[in-house]
């Protein structure tokens, strides 16, 4: 790769602080670096990048790589913000027989959800994880069935329930048994999707709260890897969210292009930038309006949604409706009506945002 690699100072700092710990380093793009480290040093390395080097833990996930290297792998993706902005992914290989790796959560609490998800989906055990409750899987899911293992199950499979009882325990860390419990959900008029909240109260004071989500987990990752080709997944990523679908499709398509070494033409980049900006406008206006609504300021809610309608019309002019991004060349430009700023003419068709 001839481009200047960003984030070299972080890599140098890691080698200095942890000599001999980095086993492999690979640049996906000029600002995306993946390092494989010794599994026993995982918490220290992530803690160092997080606190000492100004990284933010963006996401962590597991992967079944037994067909590639005989191991599972866990990835911690950090967005480096303190100096040079780039992405550093810390990768560890997990023994396929022991299935254990040291938990990062005691050092970086932000890792707790990701490690609980890895435990649910792959059966990998984060040793030292302070919260071992299920995160994604329901109470009646079989104990030894881990959905994202390559050899575990097909997307169409629906295992028989193992219990009718609710076994999930809500935790009151800051209070005591004398606190009253106020349940909210799983279905509530103010919730965007099902979520079960437990408030632990002392009189009028809320002492602590706990919650459980993922009631409508759709298994999209399993669906994509078992029933779709790489060029079909964009139709799925576009439906991760009905409001911000283009951002998800852009993320997926960019990852495929980076993996395949595809250089995106400038024209395609410009079209994507325009559509992403339109999506950003209507998304921000949506959330500003909802913030007003949730605080009882419905006049502000209606005004923000009135302004938002303009950005929605812009999206309709540019795309004719739903936006879809593909890993294929552009076949059509934006419609001439959009270039002139006029209302869309149905006869011109929609732009292909690939």
What are the pLDDT digits (tens) for 246-294?
Answer: 888 899 999 999 888 888 899 989 999 999 999 999 999 999 999 999 8
Q: Which pLDDT does position 320 carry in this prediction?
A: 75
Asked, for residue 38, whether it belongs to a domain, the answer is yes
282 neighbors 315 (Cβ within 8 angstroms): yes
Residues 17 and 135 in one domain: yes
Domain check: are 13 and 142 in the same one? yes
Residue 353 confidence (pLDDT): 46
pLDDT of residue 4: 81
Boundaries of domain holding 139: 8-149
Q: Is residue 156 part of a domain?
A: no
User: Which of 174, 184, 169 minimizes the C-alpha distance to 206?
Assistant: 174
Residues 133 and 266 in one domain: no
Q: 76: which 2 tokens?
A: 């911690």
Whether residue 4 is annotated as binding a ligand: the answer is no
Considering the domain boundaries, does residue 282 fall inside one? yes
The CATH number covering residue 92 comes to: 3.30.460.80
Same domain, 141 and 265: no
Q: Is residue 223 part of a domain?
A: no
Strands 71-80 and 55-65: antiparallel
pLDDT at position 323, please?
52
pLDDT of residue 334: 57
Partner residues linked to 209 by β-bridges: 199
At residue 6, the pLDDT reads 86
The total of other beta-carbon atoms located within 10 Å of residue 323's CB is 22
Q: Does the annotation place 86 within a ligand binding site?
A: no
Does residue 176 form part of some domain? no
Q: What pLDDT does residue 341 have?
A: 53
- What pLDDT score does 350 carry? 39
CB 148 within 8 A of CB 170: no
Where is the domain boundary, 112, 130, 149?
A: 149
Q: Report the pLDDT value the prediction gives residue 155, as an integer from 0 to 100.
A: 75
Which residue, of 149, 184, 212, is where some domain finishes? Answer: 149
What sign results for the dihedral spanned by CA atoms 334, 336, 339, 341?
A: negative
pLDDT < 70: residue spans in the chain: 1-2, 189-190, 321-354
Q: What is the pTM of this model?
A: 0.85
131 in a structural domain: yes
- In total, how many domains does the chain have? 2
* Tokens matching residue 197: 């909240």
Q: In this predicted structure, what is the pLDDT of residue 345?
A: 46
203 located within any domain: no
Which of the listed residues 149, 181, 196 is the one where a domain comes to its end?
149
Q: Are residues 17 and 141 in the same domain?
A: yes
pLDDT of residue 346: 42
What's the pLDDT at 136? 93
Question: Does residue 255 lie in a domain region?
Answer: yes
């Amino acid at each position: 790769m001839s481009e200047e690699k960003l984030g070299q100072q972080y890599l140098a700092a890691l080698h200095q602080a942890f000599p001999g710990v980095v086993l492999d380093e690979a640049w996906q793009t000029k600002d995306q670096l993946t390092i494989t480290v010794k599994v026993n040093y995982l918490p220290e390395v992530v803690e160092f990048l997080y606190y000492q080097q100004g990284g933010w833990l963006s996401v962590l996930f597991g992967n079944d790589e037994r067909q590639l290297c005989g191991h599972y792998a866990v990835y911690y993706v950090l967005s480096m913000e303190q100096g040079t902005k780039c992405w550093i992914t810390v990768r560890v290989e997990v023994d396929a027989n022991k299935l254990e790796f040291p938990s990062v959560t005691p050092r970086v609490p932000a890792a707790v959800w990701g490690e609980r998800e890895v435990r649910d989906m792959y059966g990998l055990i984060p040793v030292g994880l302070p919260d071992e409750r299920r995160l994604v899987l329901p109470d009646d899911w079989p104990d030894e069935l881990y959905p994202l293992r390559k050899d575990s199950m097909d997307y169409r499979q629906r295992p028989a329930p193992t219990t009718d009882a609710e076994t999930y325990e809500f935790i009151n860390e800051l209070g005591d048994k004398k606190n009253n419990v106020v349940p909210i959900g799983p279905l509530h008029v103010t919730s965007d999707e099902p979520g079960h909240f437990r408030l632990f109260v002392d009189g009028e004071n809320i002492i602590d709260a706990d919650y459980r989500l993922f009631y409508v987990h759709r298994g999209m990752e399993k669906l994509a890897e078992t029933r779709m080709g790489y060029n079909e997944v964009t139709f799925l990523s576009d439906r991760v969210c009905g409001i911000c679908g283009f951002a998800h499709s852009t993320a997926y398509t960019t990852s495929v292009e980076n993996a395949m070494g595809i250089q995106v033409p400038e024209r395609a980049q410009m079209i994507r930038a325009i559509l992403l900006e339109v999506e950003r406008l209507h998304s921000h206006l949506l959330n500003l309006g909802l913030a007003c609504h949730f605080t009882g300021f419905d006049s502000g809610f209606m005004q923000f949604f009135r302004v938002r309608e303009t950005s929605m019309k812009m999206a309709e002019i540019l795309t004719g409706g739903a936006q879809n991004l593909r890993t294929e060349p552009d076949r059509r430009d934006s419609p001439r009506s959009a270039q002139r700023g006029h209302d869309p003419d149905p006869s011109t068709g929609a732009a292909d945002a690939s």
